[in-house]
Chains A and B, each alone.
Chain A
Amino acid sequence: MSTAATVPNSAAPSRPGPPAGDSARPPLTKKVLTADHPTWCPGCGDFAVLAAFYRVLEKLQYPHENIVTFAGIGCSSRFPYFVNTHGGHFIHGRSLPFAAGISLGRDDLHVFAFGGDGDGFSIGGNHLVHTARKNVRLTYVIMDNFVYGLTKKQTSPTSPVGFKSKTDPTGAIDQPINPMRALLNSGASFIARSHATQVNHMIEMMERAARHDGFSVVEILSECVEFYAGAFDAGNPRKGGAFRTIELKKNDGTPEDAARHDPTDEVAALRLALEPWPGPFGVFYEITRPTKNRLEAELVARTREKTKGATDLDLLQASFARLR
């Protein structure tokens, strides 16, 4: 793992940054990072998320071969095909345990997982909870469009009550998941929310998530123009809505600072999560707690201290000697 410069972050230590030097490498640019032409419908919110992600990688300048983008199944899960890095496309709902395997197996990699609301909150809901609980070091971007788009308009776990779909022709009757509340409950150590029409905000949230040392999640409201047009207008000023951002505490002692949000305050974050639609955007929650990556590395270090530098062969031979 490198010890190169890291960018300071308000609440958490950063992940290892890119290795210093190697000036022979050309910088990572959008041009280098562009792969297949996206297969999304014209007007899909995911185009903007992709553009913002290129920008984030341009800012981070990780070594090209150490970036991994993976996804589950769904429209948004096509994402990795459009980014020229190591990566791929796993099965529906399981991108997080797969990405956790990559992250825990290789601490030198920068792992990004992408998916939609069905992948993250429905079929993969249990994995979201446990990856968050274990605080595996990776960044998860959920492009939430409140509908199943790839399968052509069925109710999703985030579809509001009353939403008419092919599986609820008279309107959805089940209460939807509140993603921010669910993520807070699951114990994720970085939780943010953004809107696909707000490119600079998305870049800021994804960059902060990428720099967070732990499991970081960004939910991005990303409109499905085919099957749920106008779903997020309430958060889009150009459509008459309000994009209200969360101001974070600066700890500057000023009177106005008292009204700002403390992202380490779980209860305050929960209050933000319970605000009426469309709610606020920004960093809801961010704390430092040991990652599973670090805890496993410490377990290895403690164990190896006891075995005093024994080689794999020494260890195996000693085990067999005990079974004689």
Chain B
Amino acid sequence: MKELSVPDELTGMTRAGRDEMARQLARDELKERWSLMSLTLPGFMLVLFVLALPLAWLCWLSMFDASGALTLANYERLLKPVYLSSFLVTFQLAFCVTVACVLLGYPLAYLLSQLPERASQILMAFVLLPFWTSVLVRTYAWLVLLQRQGIINNGLLSMGVIDQPLSLVNNFFGTAVGMVHVMLPFLVLPLYDKMKNIDPLLLSAAANCGASPAQAFRQVFLRLSLPGLTSGITLVFVLCLGFYLTPALLGGGKVSMWSMKISDTISLFGNWGAASALGVTLLVVTFGLLFGLRKLFGLNGGGKR
């Protein structure tokens, strides 16, 4: 057993010296890593203070009632019809809007991705302008369009198509239309990106193998665009669940979305227990859907060829 203070012939370092060196290296490595991560500190602290802690606090709150006792009453209350119908409406709306976006968005993304560069850039402006325009402005425009004395009703009346103005807004329909308008770019843009990357040679190859254009489209293009489509669907659905602005303005109070219930429960009733329970439920469903759908579609769209 060599003495710790005797230098090693090969390396000229003592065993103690070597260990000290190793410790110093480990310390330097740690210091470097921490100073790099500290760059994220301002952002991290902000998000912690503004978002993460409040949400955690809300979760905590939801489990206590007005007197301060631990309880599940807040969650039990969610089973009442008024809340259940709100869940139902929210899901119905999200579902309808998502389906509409797929039906409208897929052909749009398809054509945009197949057109030559100049044409698709010009047409893309029609998708980008709504995307960059404030949701408030767009929702206002729909209000103006769909009102009883709105543009669409006036136009239809003057053309004699109808005698009475249609009730196009302040209901489920109007809200859905407004939301489709907001959500469509969220589906089209990522889908367009994915579609652009599909190699046209694959379609030619399918045609060479004897497939009809419809078959080639179904078996090659559609399959390959599926990952983009599923991630778009996930995004749109989840966004619809938590959406506040458009239903608040176009729903006329008749479309009682989850988010509006949360807002009302606080601003009108000051009932933090109920509101936080609603909020936690929304959060859980949102994240559950995000991760669940990602796993589901990830398994399907990922490796298959």
A and B bound? no
